[in-house]
Structure 1
Amino acid sequence: MSANSPNYLKRKHNMTRQLIDLSMPVHEGMITFPRVQGPKITMLESWKEFADNIGAGKYGEDHLTAHYVVSHSDHAGTHVDAVKHMRGPDAPGPEGIPLEYCYSDGVVLDFRHLEKGAGITVEDIISALKKIKYTLKERDIVLIQTGASAYNDEPRYLTDHVGMTAEATRWLIARGVRMMGCDAPTFDPPVWAMFKREEFWLAHKVMQEDDYWHLENMVNLDQLPSHGFTLSVFPVAWQGTTGAPVRAVGIIDG
């Protein structure tokens, strides 16, 4: 069917598109992972101060443009971890993440039934895929639903969630999945569970050998279908950092 045909245009006009915001609001006092500094937001100049300071006040302008200074960690709020996060200073940061991996088909795997602190295994991943009757393909973006985002303004956000194992992460990579994400403060199990097992950030450490990236602190995964939607997860092109903020959006075409 031609893109200029009346039937095509009518069908296009009748399509509905729903955009789901998957990003945590950024504000002072928000919960962040231990040792990650929360944002500081300071007004540099008010609307009138800008008008006066730029010299327009003497011409009667008293309301131009206010602006703020924002101090924001590369791992606060919804963000993506670059391989530099685990490999070291010479590895690519967020500016090196290929854009084709940041816009692709999305898949949500639900692990809210697992015990808090559990590590998601390969068997768990396979079972979750069978439940939704989905076969992974290259460049799918896989989202891990832990349920923690329902209380991301409470202290238990840092303790009551599950996380990925290294084996499960490598299993996804072997099937062409390079971008992953979760609605928890870390892609791994919570800190207390890692200390209990004396195994630390094993899913993160997969980055030391494999090119893959994961998003953390996502929200609203329960508003997405299990598959059949598109994800836009482009990071800010910060240079020299180990991660960057992302405005993650799920796109559902009707």
Structure 2
Amino acid sequence: MTLIDLSHVITAGMTTYPGLPGPEITPHLTREASREVYAPGVEFAIDRITMVGNTGTYLDSPFHRYEGGTDLAGLPLTSVADLPTLVVRCSARAVDAVVLAAALADAPDPRGHAVLLHTGGDRHWGTPAYVDDAPYLSEDGATYLAEAGVALVGIDSVNIDQVTPEGYRPAHSILLAAEIPVLEHLTNLAAVPDTGGRLHAAPPPVRDFGTFPVRAYVVV
């Protein structure tokens, strides 16, 4: 068995998406202060983290896009854990239905699978190039996957949608309306085989919350 980590490390002040604040990591109880609370030789650190849900590698639930949609607490584990994977290697900036149909032609039926879009966008993580002309899933590509009945869609890019000033987000809208979670800011997909893996990307079950970082990994 091989475990392949697909998550970016979260650090204080990091930028995940330009314009969103980075996480603040501060001590709640320092080791030094804890010595006054516990027995001699016993010490603990309790830390506090303040961050937006869209930090690091994170999962979008339908609640992120739709009022009344399924929130993190409502997601069944079957939609985010132990999912068979199909990795789509994408050279085109726009991952559309034609690209997907060609890539999945010789793959198993994608129904019930986590489809992971390997664009290589993660190589620019932490730099301005991560956002500039970033790869994305097109509207017809999102429709193709929704109609195919996939369980989850992930991408190693800044956004599963094309980032435009107008703010249209068709991939989010289509997938989340179909109760298909979206996993963004993946990394290391080059290490994942095209088929045969099992994805785990379960967030904590937070009520009335739409997005949260996950430790995404594939078991092969």
TM bucket (normalised to shorter chain) is: over 0.9
1:34 equivalent in alignment to 2:18: yes
Question: In the alignment, is the contact (CA less than 8 A) between 2:15 and 2:21 conserved in 1?
Answer: no
Separation in 1, partners of 2:25, 2:51: 9
Select the residue among 174, 191, 213 that pairs with 1:245.
Answer: 213
**C-alpha separation between the residues in 1 aligned to 2:99 and 2:167?**
19
Displacement after TM superposition at 1:45 (Å): 2.0
CA contact (8 A) 2:146 2:175 kept: no
In structure 2, what is the Cα distance between the partners aligned to 1:120 and 1:106? 17
Counterpart contact for 1:39–1:70, Cα < 8 Å: yes
Distance in structure 2 (CA, Å) of the matches to 1:203 and 1:137: 17
The aligned residue for residue 124 of structure 1 is: 99
Higher relative helix content: 1
What is the one-letter code of the residue matched to 1:178?
Answer: A
8 Å Cα contact 1:48-1:63 kept in structure 2: no
Aligned residues: 219
Determine the C-alpha separation between the residues in 1 that align with 2:189 and 2:207.
29
Q: How many percent of aligned residue pairs carry the same amino acid?
A: 24
The structure number with the bigger radius of gyration is 1
Correspondence for 1:92 among 48, 60, 70: 70
Task: List gaps (5 residues or longer) in structure 2.
Answer: none
Cα separation, 1, equivalents of 2:29 and 2:104: 52
Q: Which residue of 1 aligns with 2:137?
A: 164
RMSD: 1.7
Equivalent position SS for 1:30:
coil
The one-letter code matched in structure 2 to 1:213 is P
**Kept after mapping to 2: 8 A contact 1:106/1:230:** yes
Deviations 1:121-143 (A, max 9, x none): 1111011223xx21323210000
- Are 1:224 and 2:187 counterparts? no
Closer, same or farther: CA 87–207 of 1 in aligned 2, 3 Å: farther
Contact 2:63/2:70 (8 A) holds in 1 = yes
Aligned partner of residue 231 in structure 1, secondary structure: strand
Is contact 2:79-2:181 (8 Å) kept?
no
Output the amino acid matched with 2:200.
S
Question: Which letter does structure 2 place at the counterpart of 1:94?
Answer: L
What are the Cα deviations for residues 176-219 of structure 1, in whole angstroms up to 9, with x where unaligned? 20311011121112x2xx34xx5711111115632111100111
Q: Tell me the equivalent position of 1:185.
A: 158
Determine whether 1:108 maps to 2:87. yes
The answer on whether the counterparts of 1:121 and 1:164 sit within 8 Å (CA) in structure 2 is: yes
AA of the residue aligned to 2:198:
T
Cα contact 2:115–2:154 (8 A) shared by 1: yes
Runs of 4+ in structure 1 off by over 3 angstroms are: none
Q: 2: CA distance between counterparts of 1:29 and 1:22?
A: 21
CA contact (8 A) 1:148 1:160 kept: no
Q: Give, in angstroms, the shift of residue 71 of structure 1.
A: 0.8
Secondary structure at the aligned position of 1:87 is classed as coil
Q: 1:75 aligns to what?
A: 54
CA distance in 1 between counterparts of 2:43 and 2:13 reads 29
- In the alignment, the residues of structure 2 paired with residue 45 and residue 185 of structure 1 have an alpha-carbon distance, to the nearest angstrom, of 34
Change (3 A) 1:208 1:63: closer
Instruction: Find the residue that maps to 2:56 and give its secondary structure.
Output: coil
TM-score in terms of structure 1 length = 0.81
Of the three residues 100, 103, 107, the one matched with 1:134 is 107
What is the TM-score when the length of structure 2 is the normalising length? 0.92
Q: Residues 69 and 199 (structure 1 numbering): CA distance in 2 closer, same or farther, change over 3 Å? A: closer
